[in-house]
Amino acid sequence: MKIYSRTEFMKLPEGIIFSSGEPYAFSGLYIKGETWKVDFLESDLINIDSFSSNDNAEKMYDMETKGNSYPINKSYGREGLFDDNILYLVYEKEDLEYLIKVLKQLVQD
């Protein structure tokens, strides 16, 4: 893994997997989408597929109270934080190969 400042992160291509935060405290798992002048798109992999914040909240409540399940988020939205102090922890090839190995094992079991 490698840490990038926002300025350097904005130069990276679409499709990378990352977490964001501050030193020693990163969270989330995202796919980087298209980069714009001062912002970029991201897909939140630690979320469910929903079309609005209300839909998301209703589905989350349904999952918690009724035990239902919903598929992983597949859409992109703006990161929209415009915070130059945020750091980005980018997963590199070896990290992704390890994740793929673990995920393949889980799917096969």
pLDDT at 106: 94
Q: Which helix (H) or strand (E) holds 96?
A: helix 93-108
Residues 56, 49: Cα–Cα separation, whole Å: 8
Q: Is 100 helix (H, G, I), strand (E, B) or coil?
A: helix
**Strand blocks (E) in the chain:** 2-5, 17-22, 25-35, 40-44, 77-78, 87-90
Residues 6+ apart with CB under 8 A from 7: 84
The 10s digit of each residue's pLDDT in 75-89 is: 999 999 999 999 999
The 10s digit of each residue's pLDDT in 50-101 is: 999 999 999 999 999 999 999 999 999 999 999 999 999 999 999 999 999 9
